[in-house]
Amino acid sequence: MLLLGNQVIQLSTEAQNALIERYAPHAVKPPPYAKFSAKTPSCVITVYNSGKVMFQGQAAETEAAKWGTPVAKKVAATSMLPEGFSDWSVVGSDEVGKGDYFGPLVIVAAYVPKEKIELVKELGVKDSKLLSDPEIKRIARDLHVTISYQKATLHNPMYNKMQKTMTQGKMTAIAHNAALSALLDKLEEKPDAILIDQFAEKAVYYKHLSQERHIVKDDVYFSTKAEGLHVAVAAASILARAFFLKEMDKLSQTVGLTLPKGAGAKVDQAAATLIRRDGVDRLNGIAKVHFANTKKAIRLSELKR
């Protein structure tokens, strides 16, 4: 993997544990003086005994920003948002599944009006990385009957078709815009603002959307770590995660095999098992075939024939 970026942050023990749990499916042998290391398709994450966490790779800056502020340049996360933003009526937008080999890409836009902010918090909504899968599912059920939201799902066959002509970033931008457009169309009131959990620079995001017929542009803000800046983004993330988990369960039942999350060694083994049993074409309907896992799984399946 070509290492294009390097970010270092300092995390508390609790945050380290949450990070380790999140990237466990990608775990690899850690280097000396480190207690954990993981390798995703676009980033290497290393947790050192000192509490410092290093992110290296194409997605280093984006991934690091989900967990903390770089040690070398501390900047207030809320500096780019207006004062009092967390109390506004906001549509939040976030995606799940981008780093998972199996399963779709799910984007949810969720609207939390200011009068429901405290209620949504009472339901347990917070940074989804700090919640277990059962908690995610329980809270999502409550959100379903509490707030307005819209999801956009790129199932694997469509994802793989689109990936032949565009990057994952462009697909993600198109799906965010679709979810936001659909939600705004059905809302009876105009939100104060829209906050997108940033996965691309603003200019790049809108460049991705240049060919779309309708582009959501008014009162749109972008920020990394957006789950901590407004509860609407945290709610969107929880709903997206719940829908992703539901789709993973469906796919597992369809193929008769529990499909692991992430993009680590367990994923390679599961894909290899399916290739040996059903052939490599089986992956198109359940996996993001452009990931490096496909080639690894093919090699593993040939070794065990």
Series of mean pLDDT values for 10-residue runs along the chain (305 residues): 66 86 88 87 89 86 80 47 93 94 97 95 87 93 96 97 93 97 96 94 94 95 93 97 96 96 92 95 96 93 76
pLDDT at 71: 58
For residue 160, count CB atoms less than 10 angstroms from its CB and return exposed for 0-12, middle for 13-18, buried for 19 or more: middle
Burial tier of 31 (Cβ tally within 10 Å: 0-12, 13-18, 19+): exposed
Q: At what angle do helices 156-163 and 168-186 cross, to 10 degrees?
A: 130
Looking at residue 4, its pLDDT comes to 54
pLDDT (0 to 100) of residue 34 = 85
d(CA 260, CA 29): 19
Beta bridge partners of 112: 90
Residue 163 pLDDT: 92
CA dihedral in degrees (194, 196, 201, 203; nearest 10)?
-40
- 14-29 burial by CB neighbour count: b if 16+ within 10 A, else e? ebbebbbebbebbbee
Report the pLDDT value the prediction gives residue 59, as an integer from 0 to 100.
84
Q: Calculate the CA 137 to chain-centre distance.
A: 16
Pairing type for strands 193-197 and 90-96 reads parallel
